[in-house]
Structure 1
Amino acid sequence: MKALEIRAKGANAKEVAAATVFHAAYVTQLVTKHRKYGLEAISGNRYDGNHRNMSAEEAAILAPFKAWAEAGELVESSEIAKAYQSAVDHPISTGRIYFVLHRLGWRKVMPRSKRPKKASEEEIAASKKLTPQSKI
């Protein structure tokens, strides 16, 4: 609105850009949109997206799984996918499930039973008994 006000007072696009945070080309686009379509064209959120899938209820769908994870149990993405698909009533790709989990701050953590290259218990005990040799 400030950019349109300054432009209406007679300033050119470069002067408006210097007075605001916008680039001169964007100021020109704003003025053009305002002239063609009015104030509605430049105000409000005009972002479109996939509105078939839920966004507000995703946390509610994941709530039982979060409780399981906090209790130390393993949560599989296939179980989450089944719950999500039953909530939206249409098939969901696994990529969408991973995108939702990433957006909500979940990450993939897999427990490992033991380190693959760990030394045996005898080797560990033997190395503790060794004393470093002094240099002569």
Structure 2
Amino acid sequence: MKMKYKISAEQYAEIKAAQKRNRDKQIENRLKVLALRYEGKRLDEIAEATGFHHAHISNLIRKYFEEGLSAVSEKHYAGNRRNMSIEEESAFLEQYRQSGEAGHILDVREMKMAYEERAGHSIGSSQIYRVLERHSWRKVMPRSKHPKKASEEVILTSKKLKKK
């Protein structure tokens, strides 16, 4: 069987050097795929050794040849995907905090629209709630009054009738 991508001895030495520098298990497995490919292993043998699906192995090898070692040996995903930093969020919420302290009712829909305008794109419906939670905001409402509560006059007459 002819291999489409053949790893040279120089490339193998580069892969081995990257394996020695590496401290991440996920990257280690991706580099192991390339090393096993150099040793002449088939996709199903590499899949058994690494636990990857054969299609993923094929994509890793293709990506290595098209984009180089950095495409396989670096982390490409970072954690913080926020639209604003914590300080920017605090500054954004400051105007609403002042309005709330003045006794005005705050509408989350308005806050969401302003946040989207500031971020430059639409956000999910729960993202504004996560921002509020991150800054220790909570929902504060006045105690509601029961809509069927009797008037004071009816309550007083009821009390007078019970005393008899």
**TM bucket normalised to smaller:** 0.5 to 0.7
After TM superposition, the score normalised by the length of structure 2 is 0.45
% identical aligned pairs: 43
TM-aligned CA deviation for residue 53 of structure 1? 3.9
After TM superposition, the score normalised by the length of structure 1 is 0.53
- Which AA in structure 2 matches 1:68? S
For residues 6-59 of structure 1, what are the alpha-carbon distances to aligned partners after superposition, in whole Å with 9 as ceiling and x for unaligned?
xxxxxxxxxxxxxxxxxxxxxxxxxxxxx9539xxxxxxxx8231444332111
TM-aligned CA deviation for residue 130 of structure 1? 4.8
Residue in structure 2 matched with residue 107 of structure 1 by the alignment:
138
The answer on 1:50 being equivalent to 2:81 is yes
Answer 1 or 2: which has greater helix percent. 2
1:54/1:88 contact within 8 Å kept: no
Q: 1:81 aligns with which of 98, 112, 131?
A: 112
TM-aligned CA deviation for residue 122 of structure 1? 2.4
The alpha-carbon distance between structure 1 residues 51 and 73, as it changes in their structure 2 partners (threshold 3 A), is: closer
The answer on 1:37 being equivalent to 2:20 is no
CA distance in 1, matches of 2:161, 2:127: 55
The answer on 1:121 being equivalent to 2:121 is no
Max Rg structure: 2
Residue in structure 1 matched with residue 123 of structure 2 by the alignment:
92
* RMSD, matched Cα: 2.9
For residues 92-135 of structure 1, what are the alpha-carbon distances to aligned partners after superposition, in whole Å with 9 as ceiling and x for unaligned?
112100111122222234457632231222221113435658xx
- Structure 1 unaligned residues grouped into runs of 5+: 1-34, 39-46
- Structure 2 unaligned residues grouped into runs of 5+: 1-20, 25-77
Residue in structure 2 matched with residue 68 of structure 1 by the alignment:
99
